[in-house]
Structure 1
């Protein structure tokens, strides 16, 4: 069994930690230090001014004050002027130093309280971050008060929680759908084998037919697993980029689908102009293949497909348009979700993985490309992928 990692001890709220510097302690030290430095500077300036002042206040041991309105009167009072000035300055410096020490302690206490009040939103954010888990991502800080930097930090944290909640929900749906999709061919295989084994009088032909159907189910399972791996690889990002000619890739994919095109009696037009993208050649080929297979499958006999590549001002574009059944506009945004199929197509093509456009969307994102899907009112789809422009080196 794996040993549990030691859990960090949480400091109790309200405790003053001398060990380890905290933001509140640093702010308090800064406030107190600044006050002490400025007070000391003010005291030194005052002392220097009094050394040269002409009006002084002297307090004797009986606490009776004698005001010498002018330093020139000091000799007539029997006190040398220089001694009087030094005595007054020294006593003033002592009492000012005591007052400065008291005010420094008071300012440090006020700084401690002010820092605690200023850092209260940070404690709220820290506590929420400690308590929030994958099952409570719906919680929000919802900080109130003056719109300052801490309020902005809280709002940013809430936005991050919102994105994480959406991502976790999508992951849960994906895992649930993937489990269901993987279970279907496995269940079909098991059923075929159980029926064949339960036959009291099996023949070679019946067993051969059962095996063929089990092989077909295995092929579907293999395609589904391959699609899941491709989707995961696309979402991970690109390890390297190289120039990819979209026209060459589109032409090769069209040639590989020639038999399917002839069987469905489709009219295909290709306008393959120069278009270069930076990315992974295999993933770009998979993107074009999925788009063309989608256009072939969701079409009707005698329909048409148009494939075009072109270089524009700031991007290289791949466009595939096909005729076919009408797609409700409300379903267009859901077409790139994993395992999303329109109702009629789910029953008509159980061998489809339901990941074709999801993989296209993931590959486009990995290449920093934009995917635009439009459903014309006459039916079919109009799909355009815009890759960032990649100039061809002439060296």
Structure 2
């Protein structure tokens, strides 16, 4: 924004300090002047001396004091003016020094250097709080930019794969016109369906990140039952049993997004399970001020380090091989974005004996329920 040039903050503070000092000095001199006018008599007074004590002392009159006071008062005011300007300039510079460091850090951040930190020394005061808040903002921005860059790179890689496969299949068909087109069409259909699935997942992830949805009161227990009914055929096909429990769990948010969140969690728990006699447990309940959803499943043993990366886009755990229902690697990333968009908290931890325990806490919409 273009603005007219004006005096610097340091100059304004200097003038303020000097003006205040002059005002205080002027008030003090005015008090002295009033004292002279009120308590010093006018005219010359000669006090008679006692015999043998010498001449009588001379007491100056009011007019004599006024004539002597005026030039000295002017000199004092001039001295205060010089002192105020010099001292004010130095004090203003010391006071504004932290702002200079913050301004330099802001310019570096605007130029793209998000790794710079102010790290303002000294005790906690208003400038220190501002600098610490700015450092925290830079840290969050740096993490978000790095995450977006990784996401863009991974998304480009994932989208390039189906396009490259499609190009290869079309090249083969072009070079061999007599090739059976039925098999080619089936493979093209599969690749295209996967590309559509990935695109829809990316759109859903973007929608959750932008928080462009209407909030309403929803019951997580009903959404869990709906997701279970939807994915029950897949669970039966893979030999996984689903157990749901919990009472009414009121939350506030987008019903479609929260249903997608639970569906993703349940789908992830079914697909990434043991090959035989797998199990999934879904529990809903409330805690003070929060609606809680917990999804546990049996499965391979995962290390805490690997578990901490599962919510990142396109991350898959060990032995999570792509299959007919393996997804595109955005399931838990979408869950994380939906939880964050609803001001909730997502906790992913390895389950003792194998598998995962995923807990989602969302702000409660009120009501009563049972703790999970």
Indicate the SS of the match to 2:348.
strand
**In structure 2, what is the Cα distance between the partners aligned to 1:376 and 1:354?**
21
Q: Alignment partner for residue 379 of structure 1, among 350, 354, 361?
A: 354
**In structure 2, what is the Cα distance between the partners aligned to 1:51 and 1:201?**
122
Q: Alignment partner for residue 227 of structure 2, among 240, 250, 253?
A: 253
- What TM-score do the two structures reach when normalised by structure 1? 0.83
More off after superposition, 182-191 vs 267-276: 267-276
Aligned to 1:325: 300
The C-alpha deviation readout for 1:332-366, integer Å capped at 9, x for no partner, is 21111111112421456795211101111111111
Structure 1 residue 375: Cα displacement: 1.0
Q: Alignment partner for residue 107 of structure 1, among 75, 84, 87?
A: 84
Q: Does 1:180 align with 2:157?
A: yes
Check whether the contact 2:25–2:80 (CA below 8 A) recurs between aligned residues.
no
**In structure 2, what is the Cα distance between the partners aligned to 1:378 and 1:332?**
15
Q: Does 1:33 align with 2:19?
A: yes
Q: Does 1:287 align with 2:261?
A: yes
**In structure 1, what is the Cα distance between the partners aligned to 2:151 and 2:198?**
13
Structure 1 stretches of 5 or more lacking a match? 1-6, 10-17, 59-67
Check whether the contact 1:143–1:151 (CA below 8 A) recurs between aligned residues.
yes
Structure 1 residue 100: Cα displacement: 0.7
Aligned to 1:138: 115
The alpha-carbon distance between structure 1 residues 134 and 90, as it changes in their structure 2 partners (threshold 3 A), is closer
**In structure 2, what is the Cα distance between the partners aligned to 1:78 and 1:249?**
106
The alpha-carbon distance between structure 1 residues 153 and 72, as it changes in their structure 2 partners (threshold 3 A), is farther
Structure 1 residue 72: Cα displacement: 5.0
Check whether the contact 1:134–1:168 (CA below 8 A) recurs between aligned residues.
no
Check whether the contact 2:41–2:62 (CA below 8 A) recurs between aligned residues.
no
1:349-360 correspondence runs (5 A): 352-360=327-335
The C-alpha deviation readout for 1:290-318, integer Å capped at 9, x for no partner, is 00100110012321111222233332221
**Residues paired across the two proteins, number:** 362
Check whether the contact 1:238–1:280 (CA below 8 A) recurs between aligned residues.
no
Structure 1 residue 327: Cα displacement: 1.4
Structure 2 stretches of 5 or more lacking a match? 49-54
**In structure 1, what is the Cα distance between the partners aligned to 2:7 and 2:323?**
67
**In structure 2, what is the Cα distance between the partners aligned to 1:374 and 1:159?**
27
**In structure 1, what is the Cα distance between the partners aligned to 2:115 and 2:330?**
28
Structure 1 residue 223: Cα displacement: 0.8
The C-alpha deviation readout for 1:60-107, integer Å capped at 9, x for no partner, is xxxxxxxx9xx5539x9899x8x9212312430332123213321331
Indicate the SS of the match to 2:61.
helix
Q: Alignment partner for residue 42 of structure 1, among 28, 41, 46?
A: 28
The alpha-carbon distance between structure 1 residues 264 and 346, as it changes in their structure 2 partners (threshold 3 A), is closer
The C-alpha deviation readout for 1:233-267, integer Å capped at 9, x for no partner, is 11112543111111211111111112112212222
The alpha-carbon distance between structure 1 residues 134 and 262, as it changes in their structure 2 partners (threshold 3 A), is farther
Check whether the contact 1:47–1:93 (CA below 8 A) recurs between aligned residues.
no
Aligned to 1:4: none
RMSD of aligned residue pairs (Cα, Å)? 3.0
- What TM-score do the two structures reach when normalised by structure 2? 0.88
